[in-house]
A and B are shown apart, each in its own frame.
Chain A
Amino acid sequence: MSREREAEALDERLLAAIEAWHRHGRSLDDAEFDDLALAIFAHQLRYDTAYAAYCAGYGLSLTALPSTWREIPPLPARAYKEAAIAAFPIERADLVFESSGTTLGEPSRHYIEDRRLYDAALLAGFERAMLGDGARLRYLLLVPNPAQRPHSSLGYMMGRVATLFGDGETGWYLDEDRLLVDAFIADARDACDRGQPICLAATAFSLLHLVETLEEHGIILNLPVGSRLMETGGFKGRSRVVTRDELYARASRAFALPIERIVAEYGMSELCSQYYDRPNSEINIAGASHRIKCAPPWLRTRVLDERERDCPHGIVGALAHIDLANRSSCLAVLTEDLGAVVDGGIVLLGRESGAQLRGCSLDAEDLRRS
């Protein structure tokens, strides 16, 4: 079978699995997930030369395949900065996403062969997590505008969502790195006047900036009933300036929005699928309360210790995601994020930032910044 035929066949299986969950809530059982994961892994060993060479170091090859998805070697996300991780000729890429450059050096590039799979995964995830009531919302977006940042996966995602699920009056309020606060306020007030519920999507930093500006001017936007807020991106790569609870409490006041209407999305440019907060879920891990995030059935996560073994439930380790929708790149990605597996999903604790340096005095953050 040719590479194209093999890829097409895998994509059809994946699209069917995504559709089954999206429309009918049908999940993948362990055997089905294993079967798909191992088939995709074999495909990637055949055609993704950089990943295959890495897997050889684990003793894995087409003649020595793993027996379960848990044995698939997770590729460090930073490998996407250093090589083309693709199971197809990258000049045929339908989409190319670049990281926002939260760590040093080149941005990572994620080459995607066929946008149908990417679109299906993101739309299914978003609709089930954010639009369970079927609402047609106005999308006010404080995320990169695809017109300016065509390689932003977040911008692409929200553009697709707004086009498909929006009321046709989508607004973008990030002009490069500048937040268009006045335009946002004007459009939000217009929606309020018309009783049009809003979906506000913002990175954590944009949201904080917006909320601070509204607070400074004593503005409260009473968003219409049914409005919701999707926060994404956390504070990775920068010193955290407010806690999540504080940010959400202030946003809740600024937009007269019930706190349960604020949902965090967790994704990365190296993945095709996303996690979302599970409604009304809080759990105490590592001395703090966290919301539980849940994934669509084709995305599973391992939490790893330093020996690359799975941590027990509730124990914090490095997150490695196995995203079957990454068929055309690498399905297993070791992130720089910390988290824990819990009943019903994962909790995300932020990004590993090197040693907790107690030097006299050596501070990794200072040195990396210097």
Chain B
Amino acid sequence: MTALASIPLRRIAAAIGDAAVRWCDADFPPRVRATGSIVERTGYSIPMVEFALDALFGELRSDTLLETALRELGDLEALDAPAARAYPLGRVAILSSRTTIGVAIPAMCFALAAKNDVLVKDREDALVAAFARTLCEELDDFANALEIAAWNGSREESRLQGASLIVVFGNDATIARVTAEHAGQARTIGFGSRTSLGYLDATTQSNPASLDAALAGAARDASLYEGEGCMSLHALFVERSVATDAREIAARFARAMENAATEFPVGERSAANRAGMLQARNLAAFRSAGGRGGAFCDDALTYLLLLDPPENEPPPFLPRTVAVLPIESPEEIARYVARHALPIECLGITGTGRRHTELASRIGAARLAPLGEMQRPPLQAHHGGRLRIAEYVRFLDIDGERE
């Protein structure tokens, strides 16, 4: 029996939603404190952290949680006695390492909504712990259901004993290690390394206003979280068009990147990132001198666009650095993804259409989103292509009750 077993789903969802509403207030003291800690941990600028917190808690609404539950479980009473048909797994552990901001929080909330006891490994900024305290203020029972802890290395992972499910956000090595260490004891769900791409079709380019709007969106998608999130834009494929050439688009994109840097100033960058960007810029300049492509950037290397790099080169996984690749058809995107074996989280597009859906499906993307919205996934979106709440329950089907 878990601590939340007897609490109705609606009550849990309401408590989560109410706590999130308090965190939407930029002056809420715990949020103010967390913002400073996150800036210190990530090196991101304050406006970027504020954006992340607004996006995270703005989505975490009671109605959205219930909608997701209804969609995935088929019935809002499915988890509630006396007619329960879905049951908590028991204890769910959530590990997040090498992640951006608050990645563990939606997973934690869904696991709680499914009435599990939940252990979360927190980051150095203690954001999860701070939000957990607000949750407990909204509903006392969370205190018995939630354990938030911070630890380093794998030695202390004995505390994972007894978990039915371990959710790991991290690199491939971490996921493989945790999976191997707990094989036979707990199921593991890994959210490993993924990246995101954009596609600018010829139709969009024929209208300057649409083109600039799309590029402004792409700039936002590339700039947020300094390119460190799985939904960060790292390559923009530009369909060749009679209206504009790729060089002109890169120049317009560069202006959009400058504007994005005004809205979301650059924070602290590591020496490795700075060196990587310098190397990438100079290499692009060398190629340009030889007649291929070019580098678009400002003097401070706030951002860097690499026009027409060789297709055997993978996307540059560097802050605010995007490869701009002219293509004849979307077929080339699929070939590029296959060539570099890229696991794709999101494909950013303009407009809609079957062509886009087919492309997203072909490249294994988990999400198709308009350029500019890539970094704002809806709460109910299938992160990593997975169900949100159904992963945290076990269903009970009773044959005789079908009729």
Residues in A lying within 8 Å of B, measured CB to CB: 50, 53-54, 56-57, 74-76, 78-79, 82-83, 104-105, 239, 286, 304-308, 316-318, 334, 336, 338, 349, 352-368, 370
Q: Are A358 and B342 in contact (CB under 8 A)?
A: no
Q: Which residues of B contact A56 (CB under 8 A)?
A: 289
Q: Are A75 and B98 in contact (CB under 8 A)?
A: no
Question: Contacts A53-B290, A318-B275, A352-B276; is A334 near B301 (CB within 8 Å)?
Answer: no
Interface residue range, chain B: 35 or more
A212 to chain B, nearest CB (A): 20
Which one of A304, A354, A358, A363 lies within 8 Å of B316 (CB-CB)?
A354
Given A308-B278, A334-B282, A352-B272, A357:B313 Cβ within 8 A: no
Q: Which one, B194, B232, B275, B288, contacts A338 given CB within 8 A?
A: B275
Decide: A362 near B232, CB < 8 A? Known: A307-B300, A354-B318: yes
Say whether, besides A355-B318, A370-B341, A304 and B272 are in contact (CB < 8 Å). no
Name the one of A82, A104, A317 contacting B274, with C-beta atoms under 8 angstroms.
Answer: A317
The stretch of B9-17, B221-229, B255-263 in contact with A is B221-229
Contact assessment for B228 and A355 in the assembled complex, using a CB-CB cutoff below 8 Å? yes
> In the complex, are the beta carbons of B279 and A76 less than 8 A apart?
yes
Would you list the 8 A-B pairs with minimal beta carbon distance, nearest first? A318-B275, A363-B171, A366-B193, A364-B317, A53-B289, A360-B103, A316-B271, A306-B274
The distance from the CB of B98 to the nearest CB of chain A, in whole angstroms, is: 5
For A315, the closest partner residue in chain B by CB is B271
B282–A75 touching, CB < 8 Å: yes
B341 touching A306 by the CB < 8 A rule?
no
Other contacts beyond A53-B290, A352-B271, A360-B229: 17, CB < 8 A: A50-B290, A57-B289, A304-B278, A306-B269, A307-B301, A334-B282, A336-B279, A352-B276, A355-B272, A356-B228, A358-B42, A362-B228, A362-B232, A362-B317, A367-B195, A367-B314, A370-B340
> Within the complex, what minimum Cβ distance (angstroms) separates B29 from chain A?
26
A272 to B340, CA, bound (A): 33
* Chain B neighbourhood of A356, CB < 8 A: 228, 270, 272-273
B319 touches A366 (CB 8 A): no
Q: Mark B207-246, 1 if CB is under 8 A from A, else 0.
A: 0000000000000000001111110100000000000000
Please determine whether B285 and A57 come into contact, CB atoms closer than 8 angstroms: yes
B191's nearest neighbour on chain A, judged by CB, is: A361
Of the candidates A317, A357, A370, the one whose C-beta lies within 8 Å of that of B271 is A317
Query: Max chain A CB contacts within 10 Å: which of B230, B285, B287, B317?
Result: B317
Nearest Cβ in chain A — how far from B42, in angstroms? 7
Q: Which residues of A contact B276 (CB under 8 A)?
A: 336, 352-355
Interfacial chain A residues near B98, Cβ < 8 Å: 357-359, 361, 363
Q: How long is the Cα–Cα vector from A317 to B99 in the complex, in angstroms?
A: 25
User: In the complex, are the beta carbons of B283 and A78 less than 8 A apart?
Assistant: yes
A358 to B174, CA, bound (A): 13
Cα-based distance from A308 to B99 in the complex (angstroms): 30
**Cα-based distance from A252 to B356 in the complex (angstroms):** 60
List the A residue with the shortest CB-CB distance to B320: A355
Residue B172 interfacial (CB < 8 Å): yes
Cβ of B267 within 8 Å of any chain A Cβ, yes or no, is no
A75 to B194, CA, bound (A): 32
CA distance A360 to B102 in the complex (A): 9
Q: Are B341 and A361 closer than 8 Å at their CB atoms?
A: no
Please measure, in the bound complex, the distance between the C-alpha atom of A96 and the C-alpha atom of B313, giving whole angstroms: 25
Q: Are B290 and A74 in contact (CB under 8 A)?
A: no
Tell me the minimal C-beta distance from B363 to chain A in angstroms.
14
Query: What residue of chain A has the Cβ atom nearest to residue B341's Cβ?
Result: A370
Cβ of B100: which chain A residues have Cβ within 8 Å of it? 358-360
Q: Mark B62-83, 1 if CB is under 8 A from A, else 0.
A: 0000000000000000000000
With a cutoff of 8 Å between Cβ atoms, the chain A residues found around residue B343 in the complex are: 367, 370
B176–chain A nearest beta-carbon distance, Å: 10
CB closest chain-A residue, reference B43: A356
